Amino acid sequence: GNSVTQMEGPVTLSEEAFLTINCTYTATGYPSLFWYVQYPGEGLQLLLKATKADDKGSNKGFEATYRKETTSFHLEKGSVQVSDSAVYFCALEEGTYKYIFGTGTRLKVLA
Amino acid sequence: DAGVTQSPTHLIKTRGQHVTLRCSPISGHKSVSWYQQVLGQGPQFIFQYYEKEERGRGNFPDRFSARQFPNYSSELNVNALLLGDSALYLCASSTGAQGAEQYFGPGTRLTVT
């Protein structure tokens, strides 16, 4: 079946460091891919998405490119801030009705 | 604009009891999905409803049921609660079109003792 694999956390970085959170997927066809962020005590917020191969999603300085050849959708940000500390989830859309999420990667940014 | 709303925010129940969780989607959205998020894990799909019909069901026991009302709000019901049902229950709404993003509510934190 379809699945999403994320790198293990937690990831601890200093402010202004470069961030990469790896995400790979297994799926039939070419599903839409998403990154969601979850701040402590809150629900999920959509960070960015890509709906087809080679699409680049971007938002708030975060970027991810849909790589069909490597079945990856890695999240990157050039300079992280303390306020970026959260849990990040990679997800794919299966069919038209459900998302499959990875286990999440906790990011902690130190001032 | 109001986002997805869920009630209650927190709930404590005893094993064997029944619980009903409620969700109101974003105005204009006809699809509601339910997810269970156990602490430290990603959300797991439970149900999706579209236009009041069940469109999909995840790998959850029959103790879990849901429905969608004519105004597109939804209820998730869980019978015979087990300790393992303790989790954050998330509701998400979308237009229902393929590729359309889902917008999540803040969740209901259920604790079963």
Q: Do A101 and B43 touch (CB under 8 A)?
A: yes
Q: Give yes or no for a contact between B8 and B20, defined as CB atoms under 8 angstroms apart.
A: no
B30 touches chain A (CB under 8 A): no
Tens of pLDDT, residue by residue over B32-81, are: 999 999 988 999 999 999 999 999 999 999 999 999 999 999 999 999 99
Beta strands in B51-102 (DSSP E): 53-57, 64-68, 74-78, 87-94
Lowest mean pLDDT among A85-89, B1-5, B28-32, B103-107: B1-5
Q: Which residue has the higher pLDDT, A50 or A40?
A: A50
Q: Are B75 and B66 in contact (CB under 8 A)?
A: yes
What whole-number distance in Å separates Cα of residue A8 and Cα of residue B41? 12
Measured between beta carbons, which residues in chain A are less than 8 angstroms from residue B40? 103-104
Name which of A49, A98, A102 is nearest B58 (Cβ-Cβ). Answer: A98
Distance CA B100, CA B48 (A): 14
How is residue A8 written in tokens? 């293990």
No. of H helices and E strands in chain B?
Answer: 0, 11
Give, as one character, the DSSP assignment of residue A67: B
Cβ separation B31–A45 shorter than 8 A: no
DSSP, res A56:
E
Q: For A107, which DSSP code? A: E
3-class DSSP state for residue B56? strand
Residue A29 forms contact with B (CB below 8 Å): no
pLDDT tens-digit map of A14-34: 999 999 999 999 998 889 999
Nearest to A34 among B41, B96, B101 (CB): B101
